[in-house]
Amino acid sequence: MSPIFQRAAAEWAAMRSEYGDYLEAHIAAAYRATNGVLLNVRGRAAGVSESRLFAGGAVATAYASRELREFWATTPRMTVTEFERAWAERLDTDPHEELPAHWRTAA
C-alpha cells in the first residue's frame, strides 16, 4: 500500500474517532439541555432514532423537538463533513504539516 495513502487513511481514521467523541459529548449535552426530549411527536410516531437527528439534513429539520431546536440555536451541531473540513483546515495551518518546498507550485 502506498505510504501516502496509509498516512491519509490514518489521518481520516483519527478524524472519525475524534468526531465520534465530539458527537457523543454533543448528544449528551443535548440530552441534559432538553431533559431527554429530542424528538417531536411526529418523530416518535415515525420511529425515528434520536441519533439520526444529529446527522443533520431533512430528518433533523422534520423531527427535532422544539427543545432540541432551541439547544441547537445556542449550540449548533457540526456534521461530519463540517468537522472534516475544520480538521483539514487545521492541518493546512499546522506548521508541522508543511509540505517540502520542492512540492509547492510556483505562483
Enclosing domain of residue 35: 16-88
Q: Is residue 94 part of a domain?
A: no
- CA–CA gap between residue 48 and residue 34 (Å, rounded): 17
Is residue 105 a part of any domain in this protein? Answer: no
pTM of the model: 0.77
Give the model's pLDDT for residue 93: 78
Q: List Cα–Cα distances, 88 to 5, 17, 29, in angstroms.
A: 16, 15, 26
- Number of domain units in the chain: 1
**Is residue 57 included in any domain, yes or no?**
yes
pLDDT of 60-101, one tens digit each?
999 999 999 999 999 998 889 998 998 888 887 765 655 555
The overall average pLDDT reported for the chain is 86
How far apart (Å, rounded) are the C-alpha atoms in residues 87 and 3? 21
DSSP of 15-28, one letter per residue? HHHHHHHHHHHHHH
